[in-house]
Structure 1
């Protein structure tokens, strides 16, 4: 197995502390995806069935609102995206666009199921790590919303999201 890929995964929050043998099982059926600069990994609203770990390149995460794409953040090699697809099976909540030529590992529920079959404890740890990462991202989003809501009040304007009672 490719020790470089195992090391890359172990440096991500979702696969940190996962044993190499479990990652070998995980990587056993994965597909490597090459996306040229300017192309999409996926579009907001599409059916979601995989997450990605970026091996090389840089991507932008964007969300469309009123016909305009709004930049949320950039991700670099070693970052992962699309992990919500492995949990909620809902359509993509944002688009991911390659800013440079990119290479990524595509991971599906079938890949995770192989880990489940081989090592339930490691599978559970991956699930917990995904939940922690999603929780971390939710906390960041909540903080941003809180700050945006407070800005009008700091200028003496009515609150944006709350009613005064």
Structure 2
């Protein structure tokens, strides 16, 4: 478990002894696919670290549409906002596959922040990063047409979570078309057609024996430039 915790941005600068202190406060549990972990509006009393699996962070618009704010994977965490402001949960968190979590109670996490000021600073840095991501999401949805949204979305995937494959191609974990549609506030059919066209043009390529796809980032930049 120490290896996973050391990969979490919030805990990345802790030494082994400090990591062990954090791990000692954590209780683990497994959540099945599609099960709700946190419900928007609930009182928050814990921070969660994803040990295995993935979750989606979402809320529902007044018209009933689900808006996905982000997808989090192993090594990432959630639930920190309610711990810091003692307000109800701001979004719903749902497992997108069978997911193993480490749970740290509110009082224990707050004590860690008091004992380790550098941990509090990392927490603020992570909150700032997530706020920037949310701002970019709002910018895409409010000011861009669907092609703009999709190309910028793919570019952000490459920037945040990728590994160079070959040439201008980078490996990324591409969510389902429905998840992308929910994040970009459009329909699954629209996203499927757009991604299908990118695959036909060789800008997105399937990778054998992998859940990831290869994205030609130079071609994505060219498409973005042509739309501006």
Normalised TM-score (structure 2)? 0.58
SS at the partner of 1:14? helix
Unaligned segments of structure 1, at least 5 residues: 153-165
Q: Deviation per CA, 1:95-148, whole angstroms, max 9, x where unpaired?
A: 11111111110012332255467xx3xx21111111100001112222333444
Higher relative contact order (CA closer than 8 Å, sequence separation 6+): 1
SS at the partner of 2:56? strand
- 2:122 corresponds to 1:129: yes
Aligned residues: 144
CA RMSD of superposed structures (Å)? 1.9
Per the alignment, do residues 151 and 128 of structure 1 end up closer, same or farther by CA in structure 2, a change over 3 Å counting? Answer: same
Distance 1:142 1:40 in 2: 25
Any residues of structure 2 matched to 1:1-165 within 5 Å, and which? Answer: 5-66=1-62, 67-113=64-110, 115=112, 120=115, 123-151=116-144
Normalised TM-score (structure 1)? 0.78
**Structure 1 contact 25–114 (Cα < 8 Å) conserved:** no
Distance 1:38 1:147 in 2: 27
Shift of 1:65: 1.2
**Structure 1 contact 35–98 (Cα < 8 Å) conserved:** yes
Higher helix share: 2
Unaligned segments of structure 2, at least 5 residues: 146-228
